[in-house]
Amino acid sequence: MTALVSDPDFWIGLLKIIWINIVLSGDNAVVIAMAARSLHPDDQRRAIAWGSGAAVVLRIALTVVAVQLLALPMLQIIGGLLLVWIAVQLLDQDAEGEEEATTHHNLYAAVRTILLADVVMSLDNVIGVAAAAKGNLVLLGFGLALSIPLVVFGSSLMIHLMNRYPIIITLGAALIGWVAGETLISDVMLADVVAHWHGWHWLAPGLFALGVLLWSRWRQTHPSVATPTGEDAV
């Protein structure tokens, strides 16, 4: 253990993992906050705890199979489309209003939404941490453990900010749309397309984020239009 602590590569890897977690845990925190903000405060805490705990469990499981999963064609395309659907669901939930959303979007529906998003959005974190750890199980375990307080604190902070500044809800949904575009364009089936023009790496996320923003604007101007959301849809 002493030799490990005195190894400069250990501390470099540790700093990389801390930075990767700070950067890549943010989108998970946004999803948890958006899914939980309409719940009763007690249920908010439960949703954050369960959602964050599930995210860590998923990351541990994905650590073993992440590389193999990313090699499967269509997986990230489906994951990207799923994230778009989640972003739309969360925007529609907010458009229903606080009282109605509390009735229809209960604790379990919020946790289901968080779990679906975590499955897709945890892959980048897992791969980043695993790459920085370079096979060091101590660093890998630290990286997984560090994600817990970051996601819990981040989602709690985001709920407070969303209640105070509602525009953050729309921006959060746009962020999920951006991540959806990044996920979709990273699929192995699209590797040849992306190789011919690297602009897809920013164009696809931008188009998805713009699409979510346009949907948010349309929902604001057509609040009475029924949408295929609700507890059964999540």
Single pTM value for the model = 0.72
- Identify whether the C-beta of residue 111 lies closer than 8 Å to the C-beta of residue 54: yes
pLDDT by 10s per residue, the chain, length 234: 565 556 677 778 778 777 777 766 777 788 888 888 888 888 888 888 887 777 777 777 777 776 677 678 888 888 889 888 888 888 876 655 444 444 445 788 888 888 888 877 777 667 767 767 766 777 777 777 777 788 888 888 888 888 888 888 888 889 888 988 988 898 888 888 888 888 888 999 999 999 999 988 887 777 655 454 444 444
Number of alpha carbons in the 13 Å side-chain half-sphere of residue 48 = 26
> What tokens does 159 get?
């709920």
Indicate the angle between helix axes 200-221 and 167-185, nearest 10 degrees. 140
> What tokens does 40 get?
């009763």
- Identify whether the C-beta of residue 83 lies closer than 8 Å to the C-beta of residue 204: no
231 phi and psi, to 5 degrees? -60, -35
Distance between CA atoms of 148 and 43, rounded to whole angstroms?
18
- Candidates 31, 8, 21; CA nearest to 169 is 31
